[in-house]
Structure 1
């Protein structure tokens, strides 16, 4: 079961100022349009009015206008009522865009289309990224993942055997970024405060709406057994561990528990590891 915990961490405290300066839009317009989150990294809204399409493509908000729209400016309003940004609409143009990033506060936003100082059209839309942990796995059980591209190819495969991948998806309507990855509980090397982000050679991984990505660890959770960890034995050791990812947009800590069994050897390098969802 995946759990979503609002949390203010040492990382989020440093990101608060940046987060207040950014906003994003996606979701369902209130004027009868339709919206959805396809699996291509976009969240799209369609409408019959001057604002015919509103879509988050990656980390960019794209607003499309009808050919008949008599509009010379589009404003984007944050949930607190303050202006996020405005875009001039050149003669004949049918599209404007806003770079929104991932450090925004989810909530209800407004798009206002103007002709001079007169409001031509207005719509509201909600944005809520929703990060889910889908899977976790090891090199020995999932050799088809791009392990060599991430960690390099070595004779012993020691690094690849000790690290793990975690698959996450974004079922929401706005982009988010994973900024920390933590393994705790019954893994050989649990580290609750990993160096950096806990992800290999990156401080964040952006997950667009509808997108599924793999995170690769950098804390050696399935490497050599530490004093607090669970190791392998010929007769088998079983337990449960938890994967935690911290997100930027909401500052949430999302967790998911997995059952695990280590068997067949005294050494982790030769161990058979079976992981199932708890």
Structure 2
């Protein structure tokens, strides 16, 4: 796995080696406490003179805040496997340093080492691990407030909007992730095992930062007018069934899934049909 890292000169490598060798002794010098969700809490010192004041994941970056009196030359970020993820030189007066994590990293506990000269003067750790959850499936007829026209383009008939779906995915973890595929199976009009463009409309991936929710828009027409041999569609009385939504996680290189119940009624024409979807 490739990570974007700063250029290392001989002095940088020497500092890194020194930091790793004394890392076990640096814990007592840490000015921050780790919380259960993997972020760190600010130092309780009112003069803000702790060395590592706060460490938190913001978007796709790991942001380190230094205390006002911190005398640090360099910060090293260590991966869960013990290897160096990246290093940042700290210029005089700088109080915030960021590492770009992206969405192609190994989840787990990361260590941050603050180095001055040849010694590690502070160390803390943070758990960076995403957790995606599919929370809802929306249709144009039921959720007109979603940006359907902005995604698919304006249309007098709304044919495409009525055939596609919007899937809301929440990241309850402590690290960023990216949804890289979207698939529907089960009792829908148009189940496709291998949709084009991985099932995402006009996107290779959708980044989902920790504690945030993003909408994924489909490209496979899962609720299209044509009902395939394995699909379920609308009738005047009632059709009920279940379907699954599968979303690919880039960090874990696997798919998460969620099941939903669905009810079709009121018409045998798809565009006029009432469709009710609920999470199981």
TM superposition score normalised by structure 1: 0.85
**CA separation of 1:157 and 1:181: change in aligned 2, threshold 3 A:** same
Where 2:151 maps in the other structure, the secondary structure is: helix
After the TM superposition, list the runs of 4 or more consecutive aligned residues in structure 1 that deviate by more than 3 angstroms: 29-32, 34-37
Alignment partners' CA distance in 1, 2:33 and 2:197: 43
Q: Which of 231, 250, 255 is matched with 1:253 structurally?
A: 255
Q: CA deviation at 1:269?
A: 1.4
Count how many residue pairs are aligned between Structure 1 and Structure 2. 250
Q: Is the 8 A contact 2:180 2:205 kept in 1?
A: yes
CA distance in 2, matches of 1:81, 1:68: 29
Structure 1: gaps (5+ residues):
1-16, 24-28, 38-42
Q: Distance between the aligned counterparts of 1:138 and 1:86, measured in 2?
A: 46
2 CA distance for matches of 1:64 and 1:206?
24
* CA drift at 1:228: 1.4
Mapped to 2, the partners of 1:22 and 1:197 lie a distance apart of: 26
Based on CA coordinates, which of the two structures has the bigger radius of gyration? 2
Match for residue 242 of structure 1?
A: 244
CA RMSD of aligned residues (A): 1.9
Deviation for aligned residue 1:34: 4.7
Match of 1:230 in 2: 232
- How far apart are the structure 2 equivalents of 1:22 and 1:251? 20
2:56 paired with 1:61: no
Aligned to 1:45: 40
Alpha-carbon displacement from aligned partner over 1:89-131 (angstroms, at most 9, x marks no partner)? 1111111111110000101111100101101001122111011
Give the deviation of 1:45 after TM superposition: 2.0
- Are residue 146 (structure 1) and residue 108 (structure 2) matched? no
| Higher RCO (CA < 8 A, seq sep 6+) | 1
Paired with 2:97 and 2:136, the residues of 1 have a C-alpha distance of 37
Deviation larger for 159-168 or 49-58 = 49-58
Q: SS at 1:191's partner residue?
A: coil
Q: Deviations over 1:224-246 (max 9, x none)?
A: 21121111111111100001101
Could you tell me how far apart the structure 2 residues matched to 1:36 and 1:192 are?
39
